Structure 1
Amino acid sequence: MKQGLIVFLNGTSSSGKTSISMELKKQKEIPFHHLSIDDFFGNYNDFIDNKFPDIEPTREVDNVGQILFDPIMSVYYATIKLFSEMGLNVLVDTVIDNDKRFNDYLELLFDHPTFFVCVLCSKEELTRREQLRGDREIGLANSQYDTIYSFDEYDLEVNTEELSPAECADKILSYIKSDQDYSAFKKLSKREISIS
């Protein structure tokens, strides 16, 4: 049995990754499983709220995100790899917003069929979408923009201002069905991480 395909959608928050993923899940030609980092954090928060509904901390913790982020990300990475190892096709819906995270993905998925897709959107449109959504900090996407779009190798780029989510999904499916090689991820190198 061959490894499942990993469709890695790289784009800022509000760029349209989840909408494209939902369209890819709806089609019947190639089955996909959607793994969003938002679900991993949301499920963890639900677990805490449900398991410990009456919890009352005895002290304030300022760095909750720092304590939880890396371990939850590790479980997310491992789940992507596990699904591919089980022969399942995976839609990766996350944000590569720093070099360490990119290196972790590259190391983990280098030997897996990874289709690296850039999900583009202008800064102005990202701000408009954040305002419409109401569940994202205004300016989050713009703060991620330069880091996320710093990669110069992609198998495919889709622009969510020019194409609807369904059209982006069709473009991705057409590429997959064309039997072209997924080589961009393998051409990328680990990034130097500065320690401050």
Structure 2
Amino acid sequence: MSGQIILLHGPSSSGKTTLARALQQVIELPFWHISIDHLRDSGVLPSERFANGDFDWRDARVSVFDGFNASLAAYAAAGNNLIIEHILDDPRWVDDLKRLLAPFDVYFVGLHCALQTLEAREQARGDRPLGSAAQDFHQVHEGRVYDLEIDSARPVQDNVARVLTGWRSGERRSEFRDA
């Protein structure tokens, strides 16, 4: 048995977590909600030591994300359904994820919203370096082919309904379809 995957992709502060939590509450199968933020916030990563300079995040970032991406495939191979939040800001990750997730049904969703909204959310959160959202805004959707694109400024329940309708349809046309 292999898991099904809903992959939410968009800039920092674009509403991925809000959408993932709302999906998890209503989808008819058990789905894990997983993101790199969960590792950071749970204490799995030595975030404080990266922040204070004991460790260099630039040196660790590649192996952290290589491990994270490989773990996603392992979770799905074990039969777990996943709602994944990701910011594909490294072009190599796209190719790696296409290869790693090729055996699975991946429904790829792009989250969009206005730059001003992203910046306001980033400011309000206070847990991201200011400017991350703007940097992501200008690059993360470039060249991506989605099954569904949504505007996260719309009501979350409307977006949940759109994601579920598309996911349930079984129609896949994203770049993950024939990876």
Q: SS of the residue aligned with 2:176?
A: helix
Does the Cα contact within 8 Å between 1:40 and 1:72 map onto a contact in 2? no
Task: Name the TM-score, length of structure 1 as normaliser.
Answer: 0.80
Amino acid at match of 2:44: Y
Q: SS of the residue aligned with 1:186?
A: coil
Corresponding position of 1:65: 57
For residues 26-175 of structure 1, what are the structure 2 equivalents within 5 Å?
26-42=25-41, 43-45=43-45, 61=54, 64-161=56-153, 163-175=154-166
- Are the structure 2 counterparts of residues 14 and 149 from structure 1 closer, same or farther at C-alpha, using a change threshold of 3 Å? same
Which one of 153, 166, 183 corresponds to residue 173 of structure 2? 183
Take 1:186 and 1:132, find their aligned partners in 2: how far apart are those partners? 33
Q: SS of the residue aligned with 1:119?
A: strand
Q: SS of the residue aligned with 2:109?
A: strand
Take 2:88 and 2:123, find their aligned partners in 1: how far apart are those partners? 22
Point out where structure 1 has 5 or more consecutive residues left out of the alignment.
Answer: 50-56, 190-196
Amino acid at match of 2:79: G
CA RMSD in angstroms comes to: 2.4
Q: Deviations over 1:134-183 (max 9, x none)?
A: 2222221111122201034110011011x222221221111122232x23
Q: SS of the residue aligned with 1:45?
A: coil
The structure with the larger Rg is 1
Take 2:144 and 2:62, find their aligned partners in 1: how far apart are those partners? 26
- Are the structure 2 counterparts of residues 153 and 188 from structure 1 closer, same or farther at C-alpha, using a change threshold of 3 Å? farther
- Are the structure 2 counterparts of residues 186 and 94 from structure 1 closer, same or farther at C-alpha, using a change threshold of 3 Å? closer
Amino acid at match of 1:45: L
Tell me the matched-pair count: 176
Does the Cα contact within 8 Å between 2:14 and 2:118 map onto a contact in 1? yes
Aligned-pair identity in percent equals 26
